[in-house]
């Protein structure tokens, strides 16, 4: 339609199709996404990043882990090196946190202790998560008799305070880092299993699982591909609580004399040694407990932040 | 109701039986011999000792004897101290542990609930933040650190209370304070959350719009409804109250069952550990049973489902 049309030339009775042009401009990019699509995880990450307290906690935790890994390597002292000419010295420029009754540097012992305590805590968390998810997933997914038997077993274990199981198991295995991990994890997964089973129970009736099954997916595929990612957020939140719990358990065991064997340092050993000398050398309790408290505080605050980020309904 | 109680009772008995069995076999899997003495011991003495404690018989026979004894209320004797029986330790230690345990739960629950209510009513105010900080500190400080600290300041420096021991009413205060600490934090947090939850419900708007004043709304609607999670959590709390204060009993040298457990662990007194473990397990299983019965009375839905 290059040449100009004269209105008079148009026969209004017989309008020709060539006179009209289809205007698609309004629909042209209806399918185009103007902004990047926000997945659940990037949304959660955005919320978590906005939470100053949780971010600061996370940074402090990274620092603590960094120090635990590298400080014992860089320090001029080792955790078991004794110096009987420098026993029970207060904090100084040489020994930042002072020395203990055998002249060992408490600063390096604190970070060596962080290694042991954090190692125990993280391995326990991973074991708890794995066993709990497998057990709870199987029980929840298959339901019926399997579920009944499996959950009865959990009830049986949970009917006794967890600490008693831990003490019994450590007595059998003899104290050590590995036995402590096994003993704490051996009964600790019950909570995760119950949590995951509950999630699976409600999720397995949902439409997307039915759709997947209709398309021929197997049970393992459905559990791993559909149920697990959807139940992930409560599990992550509970993991953030398992870690401080394991640090506490280790401290408790050290206090009752079932901790890691000497001369290994752990936060529990340091704090319980310090607690015995509180009256004469208070700094020996102060520094290890300060580290424990800061770490616990950060884990708890970060856990709260994770909960708010992953499950916005829970935000208060 | 009768059927429900009977069902729970049978399940409790089965649990008790299984727990006793598991404990027995776990304790017999502990490596080493029971009478390992560093000095030379004549074979005949060893044999006599084994015969006395029945350790020369096969394990299955020992198990049957042990179970029979349990049925007769005989939980065994100490291996290290003559004339000390498990039951004797428990009967002398139980009242003490109960005072500290239930005192800690009660004090923690009351104080924590007050803090939680204050925090929720002044949501986002200074009180609220203080309570949140307290609640997080409460779960971040190991109880033996907190116990040692209050012992140092309240007893040694300021001389307000006796340092340790168990000779009168003033000896109760510090251990109960230590036991209550975590509970205060726990309940403050719980009540704050559940109050805020209830305050957002529609029936609160209804109450407001029909002209009730703030006090009436809080007293009649908010508090009643937000105490529900607190009531449900009291059961496990009470089950843990008797068995959860090992460390505090040790710090304040209180002659409770937790202290006995720690010293028998430290002395490798295996028969004592086994007996005390079974008693602890029995206490918590029986507590859960009672709690289930109480829930059954309070909430009929549980009776039908369970």
Query: What secondary structure does DSSP assign to B154-181, as a single string?
Result: IIIIS--S-SS--SSGGGTHHHHHHHHH
Cβ of A257 within 8 Å of Cβ of B15? The answer is no
Q: Average pLDDT over chain B, rounded to whole?
A: 82
Asked if B280 reaches chain A (Cβ–Cβ under 8 Å), the answer is yes
- Segments of chain A with pLDDT less than 70: 1-8, 28, 312-316
What pLDDT is attached to residue B111? 92
What pLDDT is attached to residue A59? 92
A300 vs B contacts (CB less than 8 Å): 136, 139-140
Residue pairs spanning A and B at CB distance below 8 A: 110
What pLDDT is attached to residue A316? 44
Select from B262, B270, B284 the Cβ nearest to the Cβ of A159: B284
Residue A298, Cβ neighbours under 10 Å: how many?
Answer: 23
Helix (H) and strand (E) counts for chain B? Answer: 15, 0
Select from A156, A251, A301 the Cβ nearest to the Cβ of B142: A251
Closest CA to B99 of B204, B230, B215, B249: B249
Cβ of B243 within 8 Å of Cβ of A161? The answer is yes
What pLDDT is attached to residue A62? 93
B137 vs A contacts (CB less than 8 Å): 293, 297
Cβ of B151 within 8 Å of Cβ of A278? The answer is yes
A167 vs B contacts (CB less than 8 Å): 265, 273, 277
A161 vs B contacts (CB less than 8 Å): 239-240, 243-244, 280, 284
Q: Which residues contact B286 (CB under 8 A, 6 or more apart)?
A: B12
| C-alpha span between A49 and A51 (Å, rounded) | 5
What pLDDT is attached to residue A60? 93
pTM for this model (two decimals): 0.80
Cβ of B280 within 8 Å of Cβ of A171? The answer is no
Q: Best residue in B131, B135, B148 to probe A by mutation, most A CBs within 10 Å?
A: B148
Contact A288/B142 with Cβ under 8 angstroms?
no
DSSP state of A313: G
C-alpha torsion sign, points B88, B93, B95, B98 = negative
| C-alpha span between B188 and B233 (Å, rounded) | 13
Burial class (CB in 10 A: 0-12, 13-18, 19+), B20: buried
Nearest CA in chain A to B155: A279
Asked if A159 reaches chain B (Cβ–Cβ under 8 Å), the answer is yes
Beta pairing partners, A99: A105
Q: Would you say residue B131 has pLDDT above 70?
A: yes
Q: Which residue has the tokens 């993280």?
A: A122
Contact B174/B248 with Cβ under 8 angstroms?
no
Range with lowest mean pLDDT among A216-220, B197-201, B234-238, B257-261? B234-238
What pLDDT is attached to residue B36? 63
| C-alpha span between B244 and B237 (Å, rounded) | 9
Beta pairing partners, A105: A99
Asked if A313 reaches chain B (Cβ–Cβ under 8 Å), the answer is no
What pLDDT is attached to residue B33? 67
| C-alpha span between B173 and A109 (Å, rounded) | 35
Closest CA to A197 of A227, A236, A225: A227
Nearest CA in chain A to B15: A156
What pLDDT is attached to residue A188? 85
Q: Which residue has the tokens 């394991």?
A: A246
Rounded to a whole number, what is the distance in Å from the CA of B83 to chain A's nearest CA? 24
SS3 of B258, please?
A: helix
B251 vs A contacts (CB less than 8 Å): 275
Determine phi and psi for A271, rounding to 5 degrees. Answer: -70, -40
pLDDT band at B221 (very low <50, low <70, confident <90, very high): confident
Cβ of B142 within 8 Å of Cβ of A258? The answer is no
Closest CA to B204 of B188, B187, B189, B219: B219
| C-alpha span between A145 and A148 (Å, rounded) | 5
Nearest CA in chain A to B18: A156
Residue B115, Cβ neighbours under 10 Å: how many?
Answer: 23
Over residues B170-190, the mean pLDDT reads 87
B18 vs A contacts (CB less than 8 Å): 156
| C-alpha span between A39 and B123 (Å, rounded) | 32
Asked if B245 reaches chain A (Cβ–Cβ under 8 Å), the answer is no
Q: Would you say residue B46 has pLDDT above 70?
A: yes
Asked if A53 reaches chain B (Cβ–Cβ under 8 Å), the answer is no
What pLDDT is attached to residue A5? 63
Closest CA to B171 of B151, B185, B157, B187: B151
| C-alpha span between A262 and A80 (Å, rounded) | 9
Q: Would you say residue B215 has pLDDT above 80?
A: yes
| C-alpha span between B242 and B233 (Å, rounded) | 15
What pLDDT is attached to residue B167? 81
| C-alpha span between B84 and B66 (Å, rounded) | 17
């Amino acid at each position: 339609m290059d040449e100009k049309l004269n209105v008079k030339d148009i026969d209004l009775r017989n309008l020709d199709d060539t006179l009209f042009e289809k205007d698609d401009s309004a629909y042209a990019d209806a399918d185009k996404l103007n902004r990047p699509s926000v997945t659940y995880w990037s949304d959660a990450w955005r919320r978590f990043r906005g939470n100053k307290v949780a971010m600061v906690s996370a940074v402090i935790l990274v620092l603590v882990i960094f120090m635990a890994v590298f400080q014992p390597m860089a320090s001029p002292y080792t955790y078991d090196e004794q110096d009987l000419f420098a026993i029970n010295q207060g904090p100084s420029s040489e020994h930042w946190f002072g020395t203990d009754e055998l002249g060992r540097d408490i600063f390096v012992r604190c970070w060596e202790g962080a290694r042991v305590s954090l190692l125990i805590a993280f391995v326990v968390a991973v074991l708890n998560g794995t066993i709990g998810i497998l057990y709870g997933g199987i029980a929840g997914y298959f339901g019926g008799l399997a579920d009944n038997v499996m959950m009865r077993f959990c009830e049986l274990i949970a009917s006794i305070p967890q600490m008693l199981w831990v003490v019994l198991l450590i007595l059998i295995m003899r104290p050590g880092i590995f036995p402590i991990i096994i003993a704490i994890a051996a009964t600790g997964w019950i909570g995760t299993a119950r949590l995951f089973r509950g999630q699976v129970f409600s999720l397995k009736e949902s439409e997307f699982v039915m759709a997947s099954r209709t398309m021929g997916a197997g049970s393992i595929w459905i559990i791993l591909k559909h149920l697990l990612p959807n139940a992930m957020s409560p599990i992550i939140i509970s993991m953030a609580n398992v870690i401080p719990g394991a640090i506490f358990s280790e401290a408790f065991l050290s206090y009752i004399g079932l901790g890691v064997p000497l001369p290994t340092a752990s936060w529990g050993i340091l704090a319980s040694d310090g607690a015995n000398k509180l009256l004469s050398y208070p700094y020996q309790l102060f520094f290890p407990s300060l580290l424990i408290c800061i770490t616990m505080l950060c884990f708890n605050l970060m856990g709260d932040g994770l909960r708010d980020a992953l499950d916005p309904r829970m935000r208060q | 109701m009768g059927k429900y109680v009977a069902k729970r009772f049978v399940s409790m008995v089965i649990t008790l039986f299984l727990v006793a069995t598991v404990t027995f076999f776990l304790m017999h899997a502990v490596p080493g011999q029971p009478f390992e003495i560093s000095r030379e011991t004549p074979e005949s003495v060893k044999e006599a000792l084994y015969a006395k404690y029945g350790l020369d018989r096969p394990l299955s026979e020992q198990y049957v004897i042990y179970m029979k004894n349990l049925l007769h209320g005989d939980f065994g004797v100490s291996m290290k101290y003559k004339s000390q029986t498990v039951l004797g330790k428990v009967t002398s230690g139980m009242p003490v542990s109960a005072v500290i345990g239930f005192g800690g739960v009660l004090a923690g629950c009351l104080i924590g609930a007050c803090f939680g209510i204050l925090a929720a009513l002044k949501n986002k105010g200074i009180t609220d933040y203080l309570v949140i900080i307290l609640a997080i500190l409460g779960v971040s400080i190991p109880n033996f650190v907190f116990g040692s600290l209050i012992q140092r300041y309240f007893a040694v420096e300021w001389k307000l209370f006796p340092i340790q021991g168990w000779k009168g009413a003033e000896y109760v205060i510090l251990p109960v304070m230590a036991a209550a600490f975590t509970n205060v934090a726990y309940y403050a947090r719980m009540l704050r959350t559940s109050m805020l939850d209830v305050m957002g419900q529609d029936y609160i708007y209804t109450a407001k719009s029909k002209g009730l004043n703030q006090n009436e709304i809080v007293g009649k609607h908010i508090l009643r409804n937000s105490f529900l999670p607190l009531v449900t959590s009291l059961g496990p709390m009470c089950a843990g109250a008797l068995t959860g204060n090992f460390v505090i009993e040790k710090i304040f040298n209180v002659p409770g069952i937790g202290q006995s457990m720690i010293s028998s662990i430290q002395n490798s007194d295996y028969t004592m550990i086994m007996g005390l473990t079974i008693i602890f397990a029995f206490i918590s299983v029986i507590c859960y049973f009672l709690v289930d019965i109480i829930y059954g009375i309070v909430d009929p839905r549980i009776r039908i489902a369970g």
